[in-house]
């Protein structure tokens, strides 16, 4: 019931379209009490919560700061004091223990938001969250375990986020994997692995996020929220000997467009960002498993004898002569959040390497 009640209350207790976070406790003093039957549907729960909030507001001249729901607990609204382009926003980021996901999380917090770092490497996510809190203040980040190919894992993670913050405003589906290989010889298990994480995983992430975001909109109809897939330039053009990855990313853009058409009725914007190659991240630069090493070993780059040769080869493909950086991607993330008239788009951040037709 918390995953139903808290997002509804988050919308009802908002004094603008920037929703407060909610701190849940099993019991405690409250200014208003709402009687919500266990197992009540959304409409019934919203009616009961709205009545309790309206009654207090009529008497006190302000919305209540705390609302008790017998049998569920007490919810205390807490407005953000942070400033910045992401102030008062709560974001979930998948694949956040390293690479783009980690740096997006760090930069989202620096822009004033609160962030939930999720990853199968939960120790890494929790350590990164603790560092963000040390820099930006207690409660500004948490780290949780998640497997984006497992709907039960996603549901449990989302429930914990709702219990911690009352809901969230942005879901950044960043988790992704890459297994390069020729279609002539690539093992079926590698193709299935890439497809499960990059394609099915985005479907499951959207499914897990949409219900909570829709409830916040139901309680505050003018409110907008965002689901953003970190896609790839390989979602815009094919990739030689990397078909499993490119295919999963092309498919991701198809999902983005389809979900955008469906979820717009809940004011949920669904967009993709298609970064160029993140040469400084572990996907490319890991000395054992990174793509530079893979492409050197498979002789994908003619005449290359060192990792430096491979890197120069790929940098030369970019008109701006460098790889994509997280700061480049973050500008696109913040743009999409701020732009209320943008959904179903695939925003290229490629340094001119891939241009839309």
- pLDDT value for 282: 80
Strands 21-25 and 73-78: antiparallel
pLDDT (tens digit per residue) in 272-304: 999 998 898 887 888 888 889 988 998 889 999
Contacts of 181 (CB under 8 A, 6+ apart): 187, 190, 241, 242, 244
The answer to whether 156 touches 206, Cβ cutoff 8 Å, is no
At 161, is the pLDDT very low, low, confident or very high (cuts 50, 70, 90)?
A: very high
Q: Summarize the confidence of residues 238-264 as an average pLDDT.
A: 96
Dig out the tokens for 85 from the structure. Answer: 């382009």
Mean of per-residue pLDDT scores for the chain: 95
How far is 167 from 188, CA to CA, in rounded Å? 39
Name the segment(s) of the chain with CATH classification 3.40.50.720.
90-276
36-40, 112-116, 146-150: lowest mean pLDDT where? 36-40
Coil vs helix vs strand at 228: strand
End-to-end CA distance of the chain: 47
Check residue 300 and give its pLDDT. Answer: 86
Tens of pLDDT, residue by residue over 162-183, are 999 999 999 999 999 988 889 9
Residue 233 CA to residue 3 CA, distance in Å, equals 36
Q: Name every residue whose Cβ is closer than 8 Å to that of residue 162 and which is 6 or more positions away in sequence.
A: 2, 3, 6, 7, 168, 212
Task: Dump pLDDT digits (tens) for 205-229.
Answer: 999 999 999 999 999 999 999 999 9
Judge whether residue 357 has pLDDT over 80: no
**Per-residue pLDDT, 38:** 85
Residue carrying the six token digits 């498979």: 298
**CA dist 270 to 106, 147, 188, 220, Å?**
22, 21, 31, 19
pLDDT at 140: 97
Torsions phi, psi of 348, nearest 5?
Answer: -80, 135
**Sheet-wide strand order for 21-25:** 21-25, 73-78, 66-69, 32-33
Percent of the chain scored above 70 by pLDDT?
Answer: 100
The reported pTM is 0.94
DSSP helix/strand/coil, 240: coil
SS3 312: helix
The two tokens of residue 81 are: 């004091």
Given the candidates 3.40.50.720, 3.90.1150.10, 3.90.79.10, 3.40.50.620, the CATH classification of the domain at 90-276 is 3.40.50.720
């Amino acid at each position: 019931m918390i995953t139903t009640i808290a997002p509804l209350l988050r919308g009802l207790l908002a004094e603008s379209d920037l929703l407060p976070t909610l701190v849940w406790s099993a019991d405690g003093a409250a200014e208003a009490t709402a009687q919500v039957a266990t197992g009540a549907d959304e409409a019934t729960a919203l009616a009961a919560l709205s009545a309790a909030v309206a009654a207090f507001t009529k008497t006190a001249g302000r919305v209540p700061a705390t609302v008790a729901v017998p049998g569920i607990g007490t919810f205390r609204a807490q407005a953000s004091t942070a400033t910045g382009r992401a102030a008062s926003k709560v974001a979930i980021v998948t694949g956040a223990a390293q690479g783009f996901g980690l740096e997006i999380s760090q930069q989202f917090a620096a822009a004033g938001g609160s962030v939930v770092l999720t990853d199968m490497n939960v120790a890494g996510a929790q350590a990164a969250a603790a560092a963000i809190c040390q820099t930006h203040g207690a409660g500004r980040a948490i780290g949780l375990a998640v497997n984006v190919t497992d709907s039960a894992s996603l549901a449990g993670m989302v429930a914990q986020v709702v219990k911690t913050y009352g809901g969230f405003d942005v879901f950044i589906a960043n988790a992704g994997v890459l297994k390069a290989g020729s279609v002539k010889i690539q093992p079926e298990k590698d193709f299935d692995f890439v497809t499960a994480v990059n394609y099915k995983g985005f479907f499951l992430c959207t499914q897990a996020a949409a219900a909570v975001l829709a409830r916040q909109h139901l309680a505050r109809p003018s409110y907008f929220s965002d689901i953003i897939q970190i896609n790839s330039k390989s979602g815009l053009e094919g990739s030689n000997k990397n078909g499993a990855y490119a295919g999963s990313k092309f498919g991701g853009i198809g999902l983005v467009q389809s979900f955008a058409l469906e979820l717009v009725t809940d004011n949920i914007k669904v967009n993709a960002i298609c970064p160029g190659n993140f040469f400084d991240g572990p996907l490319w630069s890991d000395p054992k498993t990174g793509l530079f090493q893979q492409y050197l070993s498979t002789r994908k780059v003619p005449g290359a004898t060192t990792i430096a040769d491979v890197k120069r080869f790929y940098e030369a493909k970019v008109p701006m002569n460098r790889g994509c950086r997280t700061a480049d991607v973050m500008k696109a993330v913040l743009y999409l959040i701020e732009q209320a008239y943008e959904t179903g788009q695939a925003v290229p951040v490629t340094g001119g390497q891939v241009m839309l037709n």
